[in-house]
Amino acid sequence: MRTIVFLSALLLSISSLSAQEKVRYTEDFRFARGIYLTLDDWKANQPLRPEEVIGEADPASPKFFQFLLSKEQFRFARNNEIVYVNISDIFGYCDGRDVFHRKQYRFELIGQINLLEEVDVVDSYSSFINPGEQYQATRAEGAGKLFVLDYETGNFFRCKPKQVEALFQRDPQLFGEYKKAKGKKKEKIRNFIKEYNFRHPVYFPRGEL
């Protein structure tokens, strides 16, 4: 009997370790669908699942996040308590395909230096009763501006050369190559963000999709 209990505990431990195994981020990595309440939740790939959100929206609906983001607040149960969260306070979310920071910044490049683009955001939603695939919420138009999120510190700022160059200086060799490189500033910055992330990879646990 003790042997069976021991083996069961060992299998559970191995299963838990496997779930937490981190892999190097590549473009084919898929983040778990849900709401990342904090930066650490995103790094751990442990979002709040749509089905954990208390409300009338169908968590399986492709319109779930449109509906959620049109609200000021949502709630969920944890440790026998109801937790209320302001939409403006979340780190971001993953809709099963793209990852977003806050409500309106979509990750374009992910790594030690994250490049994000400001996109359209849901502003209001008149109805969520059988909205249909073609129904769209009213959306505030995004300006398409680029922003940077520093993986290590969580600092978030407009993608401007001086600020991005300060991050490149963490790798003196790469920064030297950047200073010598020719080409348009915007394209050069994007290319060297990719190169920086390749040389300094980040790792994420595989989550349940």
Question: pLDDT category, 4, cuts 50, 70, 90?
Answer: very low
Find the mean pLDDT for residues 6-29.
Answer: 63
Tell me the pLDDT tens digit for each residue of 52-104.
999 878 999 988 998 898 889 999 999 999 999 999 999 999 999 999 999 99
Check residue 122 and give its pLDDT.
58
The C-alpha atoms of residue 147 and residue 190 are separated, in whole angstroms, by: 11
Report the predicted TM-score, pTM, of the whole model to 2 decimal places.
0.81
The DSSP H or E segment spanning 116 is strand 113-118
The Cα-based distances of 67 to 45, 140, 209 in angstroms read 23, 14, 20
Q: Angle between the 161-168 and 172-180 helix axes, to the nearest 10 degrees?
A: 140
Angle, CA 13 vertex, CA 10 and CA 16 arms, to 5°: 150
Q: Is the pLDDT of residue 167 over 60?
A: yes
* Edge-to-edge strand ranges of the sheet holding 81-86: 53-54, 73-78, 81-86
The C-alpha atoms of residue 45 and residue 34 are separated, in whole angstroms, by: 10
Check residue 18 and give its pLDDT.
45
Q: Is the pLDDT of residue 14 over 50?
A: no
The C-alpha atoms of residue 46 and residue 31 are separated, in whole angstroms, by: 9
Enter the tokens of residue 119: 């996109």
- Amino acid residing at 127: S
